[in-house]
Amino acid sequence: MMNKTPEQINQDLLLPLNSTSWRYYVAVAALGSLVIMGLCAWGYQLDNGIGVSGLDRPVFWGVYITDFVFWIGISHAGTLISAILRVSNAKWRRPVTRCAEAITVFSLLIAATFPVIHLGRPWLFFWLIPYPSERGIWPQFRSPLLWDFFAINTYLIGSFSFLLLPSFPDFALVRDRSTGWRRRIYSIVSLGWRGTPKQWHRLEMAMRIMAVAIIPVAVSVHTIVSWDFAMAPVPGWHSTIFGPYFVAGAIFSGIAALIIAMAVLRKLLHLEEYLEPIHFDHLGKLLLAMSLIWFYFVFAESLTIWYGNEPSEMTVFWVTRSGQFSWLFWTMVICNVIIPAPILSVKRLRSKIGWTVVASIPVIVGMWLERFLIVVPSLSHGRLPYAHGGYRPSWVEIAITVGSFAAMPLLYLLFIKVVPIISIWELKLGQHEKPAEAPATVPGIAESVPASGR
């Protein structure tokens, strides 16, 4: 554990807010170009209709829904992991939490755009919102898609609050070290934070409550996303384990995204003394556990389907294991288990940051493929053989997907210019915090206080 003075910590962690290299602008420009490309593709789709995508009978859910489920999964990197680490009072969480919480908010924002993109007429999106319309018609509350609307918005509001509340003290710190317009802006966003004991108590209590509340919300979000599929009697979807299976996969991909983001930030912002190999080692252990849990779910689901031998289920089973989609399935298994599990099992490799990143990158690829393999083969091979069909994503879908993958680092780059990416006050707290069983004593009080003052 590094041992730095509060002033050194301030200087190190506020440096990215105060200085910008030319590389930063190049990266923002490159990523911004890809995002604009994605937006242009969406504009093309709006102009010409949903027919420019590869969606066609019988596959009406394709890459857009794959992207939606994938980004919802990535969002579990942050708030859920951060909340679990807070509730369990894991000391090593301090440099990690804000990186993770930011991933959640950004990936949820990206995920929430995909159902809208997927709508043929996205300008009618507001029909999902329960409002007293002149036709007297309310949304269908029995639909899992409406459950999504409520779950995702609750998670987004909770995650945004979870990210924002502990940022007030750091905004106040930036305020006190700024001048001019920056000082005015940070004065407003810090809400006049001063650091009285009352404010600290209330903040810590609020974070404890939020951590407890956000864990079941996070679990419910991905469970409900899984129910978008599992509530339908479609081969390969109608499964009771889909809820926990999706949650496990979400945490799995989320941890992988967090490791990659932390490694990049560590390198770019020179945070070597704050994001230490031990943090990657701990996250690597979590990633290994989730890799094995994910494989257990895949095995359990596969074995149950194979043993049941129900014809329409077996059609989807074989088309993914040895048919048209098999190369995607086995790539997924290689990316999610064959590559990461051995690397992360060896402590010597896991404790090296480069190797944890090498284990994490394939997981991102593998989990995207997993989402694709859930969505497409089941729709293209339904219960009626005469209705079987194919699906090939169009350039519009690919461009929008690439744009979403660029939007995530772009939002992150913009974020690190306005908010310290490591919670400064929590890091300082970790340096002076004593074990609970060792109460503080105040030595020398009798000697130093004059008699007249007592």
Partner 1 sequence: MRAIYGLYPDPDSAQRAVEVLQDAERALGFKEKQIVVLSGEPYEDHPFGQRDKKTIMPWIAAAGGLVGGLLGFWFISFTQKAYPLITGGMQIVTKWPDGIITYELTMLGAILTTVATLLITARIPDWRRHVFDPGVGEGKILIGVVNAPESCQDEIRRRLCSAGAGDVKEFAG
- Smallest distance from the beta carbon of 365 to partner 1, in angstroms? 32
**Site size for partner 1 (CB under 8 A):** 72
Residues numbered 353 to 382 that lie near partner 1 (CB under 8 A) are: none
- Smallest distance from the beta carbon of 67 to partner 1, in angstroms? 23
**Which one of 17, 35, 214, 369 is in contact with partner 1 (CB under 8 A)?**
214
Residue 67, class by beta-carbon neighbours within 10 Å (0-12 exposed, 13-18 middle, 19+ buried)?
buried
Give which of 105, 118, 110 is closest to 70, Cα–Cα: 110
Give which of 418, 421, 424 is closest to 185, Cα–Cα: 418
What the block records as the tokens of 98 is 């804000």
Give which of 239, 237, 246, 243 is closest to 382, Cα–Cα: 237
Residues numbered 224 to 263 that lie near partner 1 (CB under 8 A) are: 224
Q: Are 114 and 68 in contact (CB under 8 A)?
A: yes
- Smallest distance from the beta carbon of 162 to partner 1, in angstroms? 9
Which residue number, 108 or 408, has a Cβ lying nearer to partner 1? 108
Which residue number, 210 or 275, has a Cβ lying nearer to partner 1? 210
Q: Are 254 and 73 in contact (CB under 8 A)?
A: yes
Under the binding rule (CB under 8 A), the answer on residue 87 touching partner 1 is no
Which residue number, 172 or 399, has a Cβ lying nearer to partner 1? 172
Which residue number, 221 or 257, has a Cβ lying nearer to partner 1? 221
**Which one of 34, 85, 96, 210 is in contact with partner 1 (CB under 8 A)?**
210
Nearest-Å Rg of the Cα atoms of the chain is 24
Q: Are 66 and 368 in contact (CB under 8 A)?
A: yes
3-state secondary structure of 56: strand
Which residue number, 217 or 316, has a Cβ lying nearer to partner 1? 217
- Smallest distance from the beta carbon of 117 to partner 1, in angstroms? 23
Q: What's the start-to-end Cα distance of the chain, in Å? A: 41
3-state secondary structure of 59: strand
Helix 97-118 and helix 144-164, axial crossing angle in degrees, nearest 10: 150
Which residue number, 6 or 58, has a Cβ lying nearer to partner 1? 6
- Smallest distance from the beta carbon of 194 to partner 1, in angstroms? 6
Give which of 324, 436, 433, 443 is closest to 91, Cα–Cα: 433
Which residue number, 211 or 344, has a Cβ lying nearer to partner 1? 211
Residues numbered 128 to 167 that lie near partner 1 (CB under 8 A) are: 130, 136-139, 141-142, 146-147, 150-151, 153-154, 157-158, 161, 165
- DSSP annotation string for 391-412: ----HHHHHHHHHHHHHHHHHH
- Smallest distance from the beta carbon of 419 to partner 1, in angstroms? 16
- Gap between the Cα atoms of 121 and 248, Å rounded: 33
What the block records as the tokens of 160 is 């945004």
- Smallest distance from the beta carbon of 323 to partner 1, in angstroms? 36
Residues numbered 62 to 81 that lie near partner 1 (CB under 8 A) are: none
Residues numbered 269 to 328 that lie near partner 1 (CB under 8 A) are: none
- Smallest distance from the beta carbon of 404 to partner 1, in angstroms? 25
- Smallest distance from the beta carbon of 37 to partner 1, in angstroms? 35
Which residue number, 384 or 436, has a Cβ lying nearer to partner 1? 436
Residues numbered 390 to 429 that lie near partner 1 (CB under 8 A) are: 425-426, 428-429
Which residue number, 61 or 147, has a Cβ lying nearer to partner 1? 147
Give which of 247, 86, 232 is closest to 145, Cα–Cα: 232
String marking each residue 29-58 x if it binds partner 1 according to CB under 8 A: ------------------------------
Q: Are 290 and 251 in contact (CB under 8 A)?
A: yes
- Smallest distance from the beta carbon of 169 to partner 1, in angstroms? 7
Which residue number, 224 or 332, has a Cβ lying nearer to partner 1? 224
String marking each residue 427-446 x if it binds partner 1 according to CB under 8 A: -xx--xxx-x--xx-xxxx-
Residues numbered 167 to 206 that lie near partner 1 (CB under 8 A) are: 168-169, 172-173, 176-177, 187-188, 191-206
Amino acid symbol at 139: P
Residue 32, class by beta-carbon neighbours within 10 Å (0-12 exposed, 13-18 middle, 19+ buried)?
middle
Which residue number, 311 or 453, has a Cβ lying nearer to partner 1? 453
Under the binding rule (CB under 8 A), the answer on residue 6 touching partner 1 is yes
What the block records as the tokens of 78 is 């942050």
Residues numbered 92 to 131 that lie near partner 1 (CB under 8 A) are: 130
CA distances in angstroms from 191 to 184, 188, 338, listed in the order given: 11, 5, 50
Give which of 41, 191, 110 is closest to 409, Cα–Cα: 110
